Structure 1
Amino acid sequence: MTGAKQNSTAPHRRKDGRAVPSPRTADTAQQRKREDDRPGIWVGYGKLLAKFRKAAGYSQEELAPLLGYSPEQLASVEQGRRPAKAPLTEAAERELNADGVLAILQEDVDFAKLPPFFRDFVLLEMEAVSRFDYDPLLIPGLLQTEAYARALFEGHVPMLDEDAIDDSLDARLNRQKILTKSPLVDFSFVIGEAALRQELGGADTMREQYRHLLAMGNLRNVAIQVVPIGSGFHTGLNGGFVLVETAEHQRYGYFESQDIGHVVSDSKQVSTFALRYGKLRSQALNVEESAAFIEQLAGER
């Protein structure tokens, strides 16, 4: 024994001689992983925002209230740890005279909020001239109210933190702009009765959701049909799916389960999807009958 004091930061050793990371090293590794997981567009946007802020002579404490954020939230955006929302970008453009530089990035910032498995399909969806959707278990995302969607994200397993819920909700609501974009896209939604009766978020949330479905069904480019329980065999019994056709008249299918999504491009498979969807629409209640059915559900709440 030399009597020398052992260095408290020296790594412990396993029996095989390999070092065991100290708690400080582990914390640093976790921080590095979180930073590595940041989407590049969020990091780039944050750096530009910080550059414009400094050029305008603002500190984070001075600028944050003008953008409707706390200094801590603004710091997170500048560091790329959280994405900017459209209202922040609009306020920053105005306060910092950013000349549209931040605004032009907002769509890409929003896109990076989407789950990675879903992004390929959304790129097709953005180019669609028609989009046909069958969902047996949930209200389709494009037709969900904020409260209904929040209830879904709050129940996600594994559990999402508040920032992730907020980002997911913002991304879903932003996607809904496609319903009214110009030129109009032709939308068809066939929804299983079970999806309508599955209560999420409580009676008030469901009542609001029914009214929203009725309002969306009044759009001239949106058709909503219901497949009642007890209809017997129909072509949607093996799961939900979506069909899109692009401006180049290319057709694609999409289906997902357990947070795994698949884009289908094989023409034979897509043709099968189209045949099944056509049969499904003929087996569902028509648009008028479906609206009356949803009105009846709304009256039960």
Structure 2
Amino acid sequence: MSVETAEEPGWEVDPDDEWGVAVIATVGRQLRLRREAVGMRVPEFAAAVGYGEDLVYKIEGGKRIPRQEYLDKADEVLGAGGLVSASWEDVKKVRYPRKVRALAKMEAQAVEIGLYECNIIAGLLQTPEHARALIEAAQPPYSPDDVDRMVAARLARQSVFERDPAPSMHFVLEEAPLRRQVGGTMVWRQQLAHLLEVGRLRNVTLQVMPTNTDAHPGLDGRIELLKFPDGTAVGRSDGAFSGRPVTDPRQLHVIELRYGTIRAQALPSRESLAFIEQMLGET
């Protein structure tokens, strides 16, 4: 693969992400100083690492977030003895968009996570193929690099399932998105199978809201509720308080009431899993 045709291994830096900008600028500066210290010009270095000169300039200028494989190759070429590769520990903390990092941080701290989705399958429950198909359907379309970054960010949030002790997690999904064959039949079947697998975890309750049910408080959008070890909580509902996150106990009570009503109206967990199994058996 020539350097002219190599894909750029990184993502654009969000100029509004001050912490991310500072980290990537520092890493880029260190890379430039090390390259200059060994007497390599950009064209020579680019050829050695196997990527384009434009990418090298962008990374060294703090305009692009390098991926781990780029840093590892640069470490090898520069003879840095692992010091350049080690910068990945800082880079990986800012590689995802700021909003995603903030949400992932809260989910990682929560002892209880409650989520209702009305139009899609919740991101925490999506397979990689399903997530990619959803993101690629956006208009105007995202660049391939942006798609990769968004898929990776969405999947990274799913590390919450690996926590020990595990948080208590509750999901309510509408029937309609479950029936939509996003990505084709095979991807759809894999997604339903994944829901069954996750729904059988001891700390997870998965419920389905049938399409033929009565009106409920979630018809105006998504609801998310996170509770933390110190007794505090944060909630957000598309249809309440202008959709902004709230922590005030009186406002949280409203969101808890909405979410509780939805859970009471949805199918119980066992019936929900049987419902999804029936969908799989219909094809």
User: What is the TM-score of this pair, normalised by structure 2?
Assistant: 0.77
- The aligned counterpart of 1:138 is 120
Pairing 1:181–2:181 present: no
Write the distance in 2 (CA, Å) between the matches of 1:151 and 1:240. Answer: 20
TM-aligned CA deviation for residue 49 of structure 1 = 4.5
2:131 counterpart letter in structure 1: A
Cα 1:140–1:34, aligned 2, differ >3 Å: closer, same or farther? closer
Secondary structure of 1:243's counterpart equals strand
8 A contact 2:27–2:62 mirrored in 1? yes
- The aligned counterpart of 2:202 is 220
Cα 1:86–1:129, aligned 2, differ >3 Å: closer, same or farther? farther
User: What is the TM-score of this pair, normalised by structure 1?
Assistant: 0.73
1:206 counterpart letter in structure 2: W
1:248 counterpart letter in structure 2: D
**Residue segments in structure 1 that go unaligned for 5+ positions in a row:** 1-32, 65-69
Alignment of 1:44-83 (within 5 A): 44-51=26-33, 59-64=45-50, 70-71=51-52, 75=56, 76-83=58-65
Selected match of 2:87 from 102, 110, 122? 102
Selected match of 2:190 from 208, 211, 217? 208
Secondary structure of 1:131's counterpart equals strand
Secondary structure of 1:214's counterpart equals helix
Selected match of 1:42 from 24, 41, 44? 24
Cα 1:156–1:99, aligned 2, differ >3 Å: closer, same or farther? closer
Pairing 1:197–2:183 present: no
TM-aligned CA deviation for residue 140 of structure 1 = 0.3
- The aligned counterpart of 2:278 is 296
Cα 1:148–1:61, aligned 2, differ >3 Å: closer, same or farther? same
1:236 counterpart letter in structure 2: G
Write the distance in 2 (CA, Å) between the matches of 1:99 and 1:162. Answer: 26
**Residue segments in structure 2 that go unaligned for 5+ positions in a row:** 1-11
- The aligned counterpart of 1:12 is none
- The aligned counterpart of 1:17 is none
Q: How many residues align?
A: 259
The percentage of aligned residue pairs carrying the same residue is 33
TM-aligned CA deviation for residue 210 of structure 1 = 0.5
Cα 1:235–1:133, aligned 2, differ >3 Å: closer, same or farther? same
TM-aligned CA deviation for residue 293 of structure 1 = 1.0
Deviations 1:230-254 (A, max 9, x none): 1113232232210001222111112
TM-aligned CA deviation for residue 189 of structure 1 = 0.6
- The aligned counterpart of 1:14 is none
Cα 1:292–1:79, aligned 2, differ >3 Å: closer, same or farther? farther
Write the distance in 1 (CA, Å) between the matches of 2:276 and 2:209. Answer: 11
Cα 1:245–1:60, aligned 2, differ >3 Å: closer, same or farther? same
8 A contact 2:220–2:238 mirrored in 1? no
2:47 counterpart letter in structure 1: E
8 A contact 1:131–1:244 mirrored in 2? yes
Secondary structure of 2:186's counterpart equals helix
Write the distance in 1 (CA, Å) between the matches of 2:114 and 2:24. Answer: 32
2:186 counterpart letter in structure 1: D
Secondary structure of 1:242's counterpart equals strand
Secondary structure of 1:108's counterpart equals coil
CA-based RMSD of the aligned residues comes to 3.2
TM-aligned CA deviation for residue 266 of structure 1 = 2.0
Pairing 1:287–2:272 present: no
Write the distance in 1 (CA, Å) between the matches of 2:190 and 2:35. Answer: 41
TM-aligned CA deviation for residue 48 of structure 1 = 3.6
8 A contact 1:153–1:165 mirrored in 2? yes
TM-aligned CA deviation for residue 146 of structure 1 = 1.1
Write the distance in 1 (CA, Å) between the matches of 2:63 and 2:75. Answer: 20
Cα 1:100–1:35, aligned 2, differ >3 Å: closer, same or farther? closer
Secondary structure of 1:172's counterpart equals helix
TM-aligned CA deviation for residue 86 of structure 1 = 5.2
TM-aligned CA deviation for residue 191 of structure 1 = 0.4
